[in-house]
Amino acid sequence: MTHRVQDIAVALGCEAAGATDIFVDGVREPAEAGPEHLALAMKPEFAETLPKGRARVALLWAGADWQAMGLEAAIFAERPRYALSGLSAMMDPGPRFPEGIHPSAVIDPSAEVGIGVSIGAFTVVGPGAVIGKGSVIGPQCHIGANVRLGEGAFLHAQVTLAHDVTIGARFIAQTGARIGGDGFSFVTPEKSGAERARETMGDQGETKAQPWARIHSLGGVVIGDDVEIGANSCIDRGTVRATVVGSGTKIDNLVQVGHNCIIGRDCLLCGQAALAGSVRTGDNCVFGGQSGVADNILIGDNVITGGGSKVLSNVPSGRVLLGYPATKMDIQTESYKAIRRLPRLARDVAALKKAVSKLVESD
């Protein structure tokens, strides 16, 4: 993808200086950039490695002294990392799937396929499914019965959309994403030890072996516009009502969203995060990697959980959490510091006990 420096700056809404008629055909880290690349020297510590490469032009922070760096041209961004989102889109050729419908694809006669849709090899489209115009469906995907997929979707290879899943426009699913599998819902004929332990905070009572009966998932999954799902992530369908993912939400790889969850708009779920069944979140929430949320928890808007946090109770809007069990980040940090001081405190107490004992013996 070859672009003129001035054209890149205009597209990003940035200022450019120097020989802005230079053409670049890719981006690189400063130390690896050649004369044909745009170096990503987006902050001073990155710019220090420019001499190791051969870049003629770089993406820099506002006010950077580009000439002192030996560059022939520069693009300046007030927020370079945000500019990188647009730049990367310009430079990304994307997966190259053939246009049209592959001969090996199996499409039910009752399915509706929009204008300009590409469907890859060995993909199956079920009865009553509707695929919006301009969508790209990669190879070996499965689109179940009565799925509604909005326009401009991009499903990478081996994505599964189970029956009765409804998805808005511009949806992106990475390889192996699974949307609409059954929820993990099982029940015993009599109250189980796990139920008693939860009620009593640890006492499961007299237990006996019991079979687990499946509660079938009768609901679907409803996903808004501009949602992205990472590789090998799973979103379970609802038990009776639908599991919901709000518009603009982005879900990383290996994330689990349980049955009946309702996720707000513009949320981020980072790698290996997991929401148990019937969790409700507000808008603009961020769940750090390996965060976990217990079932039936209510979470307000603009909540952030640090990596590895385990949320076991309802969370008000605006709260930043960390730890297990998750508490306010500043409290958790102080608690951790106190735990680190415990060995020294124990030694001090032992020394005091020894000193007191000697005093008592001398009396």
- Active-site residues: which are they? 259
3-state SS assignment for residue 148: strand
Tell me, rounded to whole angstroms, the distance of Cα 179 from its chain centroid: 15
Q: What are phi and psi of 315, to 5 degrees?
A: -125, 125
User: Cβ distance 40 to 29 under 8 Å?
Assistant: yes
Cα dihedral angle (55, 24, 99, 178), rounded to 10 degrees?
A: 40
Buried b / exposed e along 128-137 (16+ C-beta atoms within 10 A): bbbbbebbbb
The secondary structure of 325-363 as a DSSP string is TTEEHHHHHHHHHHHHHHHHHHHHHHHHHHHHHHHHHH-
The secondary structure of 94-137 as a DSSP string is ---PPSSB-TT-EE-TT-EE-TT-EE-TT-EE-TT-EE-TT-EE
Alpha-carbon gap, residue 218 to 214, rounded angstroms: 12
Length of the chain, in residues? 363
User: Cβ distance 132 to 125 under 8 Å?
Assistant: no
